[in-house]
Amino acid sequence: MPDRRSDSNTGAFDVVIVGAGFSGLYMLHRMRELGFAVRLYEAGEGVGGTWFWNRYPGARCDIESVEYSYSFSEELQREWQWSERYASQPEILRYLNHVAERFDLHRDIQLETRVTSATFDEIGYRWTIETDRGDQVSARFCIMATGCLSTAKLPEYKGLETFQGNWYHTGNWPHQAVNFEGQRVGVIGTGSSGIQSIPMIAEQASHLFVFQRTPNFSVPAQNGPLTPEVSQDWTANHAERRQQIRKLPFAIAIEHSPDSALAVPTEERQRVYEQRWQRGGFAMMGAFADLIFNKEANDTAADFVRSKIRGIVSDPAVAQMLSPRDFPLATKRICVDTGYYATFNRENVTLIDVRDNPIEEITPTGLRTRDAEYALDSLVFASGFDAMTGSLNRIEIRGRTGATLKQKWAQGPRTYLGLMIAGFPNLFVVAGPGSPSVLSNMVVSIEHHVEWIADCLVYIRDRGISGLEATEAAEDEWIAHVNAVANMTLFPLANSWYMGANVPGKTRIFMPYIGGFPNYQKKCAEVTARGYEGFVLSIPDRSAAGAAQAASW
């Protein structure tokens, strides 16, 4: 049974993990396998992370389910069959609950507990972790599996507190089904969550008003049931397939053409795009090798998607409004939809451009833009997340010098390999800024990080040393590399959440590593092979307390 609230709120662990999504669950399993004393804290009432919180209608993965799942257990792989090409949120949540049950993880998980602070003590070389439930525990290692998209961002509109209807954020959706039947509903935001939920809400609402500031590129998922043949084939060959996937730039199984979009005749280019569109999902990204490097090449793909929008949406003015023009294709995470553009052909759907006609106020009965007033029964904020740094910055993390991580990151996140931070010994981040993270199939990146961290902890334990810390020099060099690689691409041209541009006041800096998963994996392996290059290993702890600690390992 899940341990909803532990009675013991003090104690000493080898490892404390924060967060019970894909990252935390596997991290916990690995730590237990390796014999570490471990405790995991999770703010939610259940495990699943992203898939626990994002229960909005239409929520599903945008990477094919067979790939968007763990590879670490052959048995797990064999016993779980996905029902659709892109699994829906309830199915992914069932999967993660199954993982927690199957590996008996709940006995070391404390739910409904938010970690509020983590303070490093240099003398004992340990972290003290405090929670909103009054726990105060100590751990040699603290692993932040807090998620990149786990702090929902609510736009600050005047008057929200006066609204008399119900309002929701897609990233914090109620557990009971929400019924919009017969209602006038407003959706604010047309990023991935908006694009997934709008077609579903439109089917229920009497009228749906979509308030769009920035149109996004979306491609069809071409979702459908997974046939038993496809499932069986994947199960039989998954080890080999997954190995192939790890060699691909985003660790996603798409075919990458080596050709330039500008080197082929127009008809051939169109044929390739059409084929990729029909294949669905991220296939479009691999159509040509220069799409994310060369604006002219990118324009050909962007024009193709815009022509598709014009072909699907019957009102040319609406099609025009839905067509992105301000940023290159894929420099904001490309959305993967089911029936998004066609939804705007419905009589009960109205698109409102709020870029030139901004929302001025939420009123008791709806919403007022500069030009008009809309009566609404419910409001849905599909306004995204304080990505990559939001959840870490909400915890008061004090490192070796006493400064907080938030202070250190005031000008943008700085990490070594996205895994560790100078000044914060023995603190690890899973899929943090500076790693491929959100630019990859995250489950692949997460498994890689969990395994790297686990190996590192065993290395430390085997040598009886207290821990390790990234050096400032290694961190500076890595961040310079992260930025240099980003600047070789078109990504910095977009005001994206990758750049922190969706949060007012957040420093504009490209946060994930775009150098590709294989290069990144190679770099991490080299660092390890060179005896943790770029890290300072702390001197062996020869004190009586240290000896006792070593003995307890």
| Contact yes or no for 331/493 (Cβ under 8 A) | yes
Please tell me whether residue 68 binds ligand FAD under the rule CB under 6 A. yes
Nearest of 322, 330, 302 to residue 493 by alpha carbon = 330
Q: Which of 14, 16, 17, 24 binds ligand FAD (CB under 6 A)?
A: 24
| CB nearer ligand FAD, residue 59 or residue 318 | 59
What's the token pair of residue 11?
């104690």
**DSSP H or E run through 109:** strand 109-110
Q: How far is the CB of 474 from ligand FAD (least distance, A)?
A: 24
Interacting residue with ligand FAD among 16, 59, 143, 321 (CB under 6 A): 59
Buried b (16+ CB within 10 A) or exposed e, 286-305: bbbbbbbebeebbbbbbebb
- The reply on whether position 441 binds ligand FAD by CB under 6 A is yes
Q: Is 442 in the site for ligand FAD (CB under 6 A)?
A: yes
437 belongs to the binding site for ligand FAD (CB under 6 A): no
Instruction: Give the contacts of 183 (CB within 8 A, at least 6 positions apart).
Output: 204, 205, 206, 377, 378
Is 405 a binding residue for ligand FAD by CB under 6 A? The answer is: no
Size of the site for ligand FAD (CB under 6 A): 36
**CA-based nearest residue to 326, from 439, 214, 488, 195:** 214
Examine residue 430 and tell whether it contacts ligand FAD (CB under 6 A).
yes
Q: Looking up tokens 């890689």, which residue turns up?
A: 448
Among 65, 44, 60, which residue's Cα sits nearest to residue 146? 44
Tell me the residue type at 263: A
According to CB under 6 A, which residues from 168 to 227 bind ligand FAD?
A: 193
Note whether 384 binds ligand FAD by CB under 6 A: no
433 belongs to the binding site for ligand FAD (CB under 6 A):
no
Q: Which is nearer to ligand FAD, 193 or 415 (CB)?
A: 193
Q: How far is the CB of 206 from ligand FAD (least distance, A)?
A: 26
Structure-token pair, residue 69: 């799942």
Q: Does 281 contact ligand FAD by CB under 6 A?
A: no
Instruction: Determine contact, residues 368/158, Cβ cutoff 8 Å.
Output: no
Q: Does 142 bind ligand FAD (CB under 6 A)?
A: no
| 254 contributes a contact to ligand FAD by CB under 6 A | no
Among 20, 285, 362, 405, binds ligand FAD (CB under 6 A): 20
The reply to whether 489 sits near ligand FAD by the rule CB under 6 A is: no
Cα–Cα distance, 40 to 17 (Å, whole number) = 5
Does position 429 interact with ligand FAD (CB under 6 A)? The reply is no
363 binds ligand FAD (CB under 6 A): no
Which of 106, 188, 506, 113 has the alpha carbon at shortest distance from 376? 188
Near ligand FAD by CB under 6 A, which window of 141-149, 463-471, 493-501, 537-545? 141-149
Distance CA 48, CA 434 (A): 24
Q: Does 22 bind ligand FAD (CB under 6 A)?
A: yes
**86 Cβ contact list (under 8 Å, min separation 6):** 60, 61, 62, 63, 64, 65, 221, 223, 281, 336
Residue 376 interacts with ligand FAD (CB under 6 A)? no
Looking at the DSSP bridge assignments, the partners of residue 84 are: 225
119 three-class SS: strand
Out of 13, 38, 50, 313, the only residue in the binding site for ligand FAD (CB under 6 A) is 50
| Binding region for ligand FAD (CB under 6 A) out of 222-230, 367-375, 440-448, 542-550 | 440-448
Interface with ligand FAD includes 115 (CB under 6 A)? Answer: yes
Residues that bind ligand FAD (CB under 6 A): 18-24, 41-44, 49-50, 52, 54, 59, 61-63, 68, 114-115, 145-150, 193, 391, 395, 430-431, 441-442, 446
